[in-house]
Amino acid sequence: MTKDECKQVVLDIIADIAPDEDLSNVKPEVRLRDQMQLDSMDFLDIVMELRKRHGIEVPEKDYQQLASLDSCAEYLTPKFDALTGKS
């Protein structure tokens, strides 16, 4: 999976859990929380949807890795690749 594909996975999840947010101009390097109204309940849902849809586990100590789209891609892409057997 490319990092851009990984970002799209996260954006798709946010689009479903926060349909009232405008996602057309999300800046990948800026914290998600600073660009839209996402609270801890919403971040819990991002984590849970990653598990439900993709089988990706994000332990609580790593939640901060999901702060921006860039950091999501850094953190999650290897996890996706590990699932599909790529290294």
Partner 1 sequence: MNTRSRYDVAIIGAGMSGLAAGIRLAHFGKKVCIFERHNAVGGLNSFYSIAGRKFDVGLHAMTNFVRPGVKGTPLGKLLRQLRIDRDEFALCEQKQSRIAFGPRGECSLRFTNDFAVFESEVVAAFPAQADGFRRLVTAVRTFDDVSLDAAPMSAREAVRRHVSDPLLEDMLFCPLMYYGSATERDMEFGQFAIMFKALFLEGFARPFEGVRVVLRVLLAKYRAAGGERRMKCGVKKISAHAGRASAILLDSGDEITADHVISSIGAPETDRLVATSASEPTTAPPTLSFVETISILDRQPAELGWGSDTIVFFNDSSRFDYVRPTEQVDPRSGVICIPNNFDYGAGRVLPEGIFRVTCLANHDRWATLPEADYQADKSRWFAEVQRSARRFLPALASDDALAAATLTTDMFTPRTIAKFTGHLGGAIYGATTKHRQGRTSLDNLYLCGTDQGFLGIVGAMLSGISMANYHILQKG
Residues that bind partner 1 (CB under 8 A): 16-20, 37, 39, 41-42, 44-45, 48, 51-52, 60
Give strand pairing partners of 11. none
Rounded CA-CA distance 72/38 in Å is: 15
- Residue with Cβ nearer partner 1 (37 or 87): 37
Nearer to partner 1, 21 or 70 (CB): 21
User: How many other CB atoms are there within 10 angstroms of residue 61's CB atom?
Assistant: 7
- CB of 40 or CB of 87, closer to partner 1: 40
Write out the H or E segment, with its range, that includes residue 19: none
In angstroms, give the least distance from the CB of 3 to partner 1. Answer: 27
Closest CA to 20 of 44, 37, 32, 35: 37
- Least distance (Å) from partner 1 to the CB of residue 63? 11
